[in-house]
A and B are shown apart, each in its own frame.
Chain A
């Protein structure tokens, strides 16, 4: 191991240490937020609702988190990974930002130079986002009375359909072969068993499972 490699190993070990400590602290703070709010307002989380909700969410998002971790961390390096996974928007912002910076700096994944560029890039990106959102939130505060008028209620009551309409178009267009059967079956189920309409969180499991199965079969046949 030459001098540069030795220096870089020590540097990375230092980042791992700081990364772990700060992530543990950040996680503790994030988990504390709902409890602090609950204590201040005199409410505590509904444990049954939390367990049911978390089970449904975990079933979908824990595998996604593991896949993202396995795929993205080699591109992001040590510092970039710790920062990206705590600041979020990994796929839609941090990865493209790192790729852009690596292009500009001319570094290749796995080298010490790339690790440095990646960490600087992710840190700058996260700070920029924070500043933009802070500025936006300051501007949003005086607009609150307008945002809370009853006329705007239909907009905020339909924010989830707006999300899944837009996302649906994107994903269905990307993989129409996967989409057709789950969409037809879920629609039929909701038409013929209306009680399922308010149980979307339960529908997600068979629908996601079916889409995964179809995707796997198509992948094995070489059709996607």
Chain B
């Protein structure tokens, strides 16, 4: 385990990730500068453009800290550099963990357990995580130009009687995630039974996380503490993970 952790946290690995992220950051600056200049060229007020930069930076600060908490959560199993890369590029915490778990099971591990991981498993998990998230990027590379020109050429429907009812698309994503959560929670319930190994810890951790999330949802929805919305997922996870440590020490 120590050898694995040393491997996934090696300096070379930090350097590789820094190169990739450096490239993407330069890409962001190129788009930013080009758009700023184009905005000025079509007569937009530079003050509005600067205000947009400031507003976007401040708006992003808090959610970025929650992503950082996600890096901490992921780094215990996949190391800091790869977690840093995955949560800085394309992915999001829920995707990364779910895919890492699926990949781990498909190479014969019981799941994303630190005690079972080695560099061979890591390389395969990293490849599945990378390839699985590229769908949206490939759509952009191959279809964005055509799709946007079609959409922009279409006359817009106005609200009211002429507007169509939203389709099943939005509900489909929610349903898909409901199914995903049901499969995992079902497996944690199964593990509590004697036939499943009488392992109560995953269910306990899931319940603690759910309770924390319920408190956050209450504070956000009922008490209008909207700032907490950005932290609810990462904070619930970290509290539940801490509960696992405490319970393990106590018994």
Contact B183 A155 (CB under 8 A): no
User: In the complex, which residues 188-218 of chain B have their Cβ closer than 8 Å to any Cβ of chain A?
Assistant: 188-191, 193, 195-197, 201-203, 205-214, 217
Q: How far is the CA of A123 from the CA of B191 in the complex (A)?
A: 45
Q: Is B222 interfacial (CB 8 A cutoff)?
A: no
Could you tell me the distance in whole angstroms from the C-beta of B75 to the nearest C-beta in chain A? 7
CB distance from A199 to the nearest CB of B (A): 7
A203 to chain B, nearest CB (A): 4
Q: Which of A70, A73, A168 contacts B206 (CB 8 A)?
A: A168
**Is B132 in contact with A137, judged by CB distance below 8 angstroms?**
no
Residue of A132, A165, A178, A185 with most chain B CB atoms under a 10 A cut-off: A165
Q: Does residue A1 face the partner (Cβ distance < 8 Å to B)?
A: no
Q: Are A158 and B241 neighbours in the complex by a CB distance under 8 Å?
A: yes
B139 within 8 A of A: yes
Cα A27 to Cα B136 in complex, Å, equals 11
Chain B interface helix/strand/loop/mixed: helix
Q: Are B210 and A165 in contact (CB under 8 A)?
A: yes
The answer to whether the Cβ of B133 comes within 8 Å of any Cβ in the partner chain is: yes
Total interface residues in chain A, CB < 8 Å: 159
Q: In this complex, what residue of B is CB-closest to A88?
A: B90
**What separation, in Å, do the CA atoms of A136 and B66 have in the docked complex?**
11
The distance in angstroms between the C-alpha atoms of A29 and B19, with both chains bound, is 9
Known: A43-B120, A156-B77. A101 touches B186 (CB 8 A): no
Chain A residue at minimal CB-CB distance from B63 = A93
Chain B residues numbered 62-107 whose CB sits less than 8 Å from any CB in chain A? 63-65, 67-68, 71-77, 80, 82, 84-85, 87-95, 97-99, 101-103, 105-107
Total residues of chain B contacting the partner, CB 8 A? 166
- Which of A31, A104, A115, A156 touches B51 (beta carbons < 8 Å)? A104
Instruction: Check A104/B55 contact, CB under 8 A, given A116-B39, A161-B184, A211-B182.
Output: yes
Inter-subunit contact A136/B71 (CB<8 Å):
yes
Contact partner of A160 among B12, B80, B112, CB < 8 A? B112
CB-CB < 8 A to B98: which residues of A? 160, 163
Q: Which residues from 67 to 123 on chain A have a C-beta closer than 8 Å to any C-beta of chain B?
A: 67-71, 73-74, 77-79, 81-83, 85-93, 96-97, 100-101, 104-105, 110, 112-113, 115-117, 119-123
In the complex, residue of chain A having the shortest beta-carbon distance to the beta carbon of B57: A128
Q: Verify B187–A54 contact, CB threshold 8 A.
A: no
CA distance A211 to B178 in the complex (A): 7
**In the complex, are the beta carbons of B140 and A81 less than 8 A apart?**
yes
B163 at interface by CB-CB < 8 Å: no
Contacts A126-B28, A130-B25 aside, 19 further interface pairs with beta carbons under 8 A come to: A18-B34, A37-B13, A56-B102, A64-B135, A85-B137, A86-B140, A123-B35, A132-B65, A147-B72, A155-B241, A156-B114, A158-B202, A161-B205, A163-B209, A164-B209, A166-B209, A182-B178, A197-B197, A216-B171
Which 10 pairs between the two chains have the least Cβ-Cβ distance?
A190-B190, A186-B186, A65-B135, A156-B76, A165-B206, A211-B179, A165-B209, A215-B175, A49-B107, A208-B179
